Amino acid sequence: MSFAGVSVVADGKLLGADTSHTTPSASGYHLAHVVFSFVDETDKQEPARIDGSKILELRGKDRRHAFKYIKKAALAKHVKNDSFTIRCDVVVLNPQCDTVLITVPPSDMQQNFTEFLHAGDGTDVIFRVGDETFAAHRCVLAARSAVFRAALFGPMKEGTSMAAVMEIHDMDATVFKAMLGFIYSDSFPELAEDGKEGTLLQHLLVAAERYNLPRLRVMCEKKLCEHIDLNTATTILGLAEQHGCDGLKKACCKFVRCPENLRVVVATDGFDDLCRSCPTIMKDMILGVLPAK
């Protein structure tokens, strides 16, 4: 077995063998990849650019599972004069530092924005919803919602002075507060747990669509699937149909198609209203309970 040559990589460039003695070195424990290759006709190649066919590879810490062996028949073509040449490439990774010792903390941007809202520093717009008022930041609202962007910075902007007051109609203050909390935190807001959560979720879904907040809209849709029961099935189903919530609609239809549930739901006033407003849904449900052909 003979020595094949040297390949040196510095600053991402392949250097010749004659420059290897100028390459800086570093001692210590480093991560490395080792690759062994056959080298044929080395006398016709430059030492720094030797070509070969890979026969085995050593990577990682567990060497027992790192080798790929070549069959004896394939070895024969590399043997010349009862000998063969092997090239060994060692690539040292990050020799100057050990990144394993550095832990990047999770992002706290959401918490920072939420605290910014609660502190009230720098607020430049006020919303009046019913008897309550909410201070907020135009730039944050505009960045999160195209509807708020148009209202606050577009040609039809509703207020130009600092701390302008915007009236929000047809929305409960609790729902607006929850939507505002989502805009700043990007996480689902806490809602009342006194039996009104399902109703608030329905209103919050409508608000999310009104202000073009698709992530909040899907969150509400998913949460509402947990509130489908005999009393709410028709209401939620009508809401899903009206706002194009396909996933929520399928969940409601699945619940209603159950014969035991259907008997109870049919007797409710909500079912009669649903039949009048959404006849297509009724057709789908009837087809769903019929036996398959």
Tokens of 19: 């420059």
User: From the centroid of its chain, how far is CA 198?
Assistant: 27
Cα 158 to Cα 148: distance, rounded to the nearest angstrom:
10
CB contact set of 2 (below 8 Å; sequence gap of 6+): 42, 83, 85
% of the chain residues with pLDDT over 70: 64
Residue 224 near residue 248, CB atoms below 8 Å: yes
Res 136: pLDDT: 94
pLDDT at 253: 85
Mean of per-residue pLDDT scores for the chain: 77
Q: What is the CA radius of gyration of the chain?
A: 34
Q: Can you give the pLDDT at residue 196?
A: 84
Token duo for residue 79: 């043997």
Token couple for 285? 């449900």
pLDDT band for 41, please (50, 70, 90 cuts).
low
The rounded distance, in Å, linking the Cα atoms of 195 and 193 is 6
pLDDT score at 77: 78
* Overall CATH class of domain 228-293: mainly alpha
3-state secondary structure of 91: strand
Count of CB atoms situated within 10 Å of the CB of 233? 24
What integer pLDDT is reported at residue 80 of this predicted model? 80
How many CB atoms lie under 10 A from the CB of residue 84? Answer: 17
Q: Find, among 161, 172, 153, the residue nearest to 125 by Cα.
A: 161
Task: Say whether 55 sits in a helix, a strand or coil.
Answer: strand
- Residues 168 and 197: beta-carbon distance below 8 Å: no
Give the confidence band of 220 by pLDDT, cuts at 50, 70, 90: very high
Residue 213: pLDDT band (50, 70, 90) is very high
Report the pLDDT value the prediction gives residue 19, as an integer from 0 to 100: 47
pLDDT given at position 216: 96
pLDDT, one tens digit per residue, over 89-148 is 777 665 555 666 788 888 888 889 889 888 888 899 999 999 999 999 999 999 999 999
In the chain, where are the structural domains located? 8-96, 107-216, 228-293
Banded pLDDT at 268 (limits 50, 70, 90):
confident
Contact, 17 vs 6, CB < 8 A? yes
Q: Which of 240, 236, 229, 234 is nearest to 269 (CA)?
A: 234
User: Fold identical between 107-216 and 228-293?
Assistant: no
Helix (H, G, I), strand (E, B) or coil at 1: coil
| Average pLDDT of the segment spanning 56-69 | 54
Please tell me the CATH code under which domain 107-216 is placed: 3.30.710.10
Structure confidence at residue 208 (pLDDT)? 96
The answer to whether the beta carbons of residues 205 and 245 sit under 8 Å apart is yes
- Nearest 5 degrees, angle CA 212-CA 279-CA 289? 105
Return d(Cα 256, Cα 250) in angstroms, integer. 10
The total of other beta-carbon atoms located within 10 Å of residue 174's CB is 18
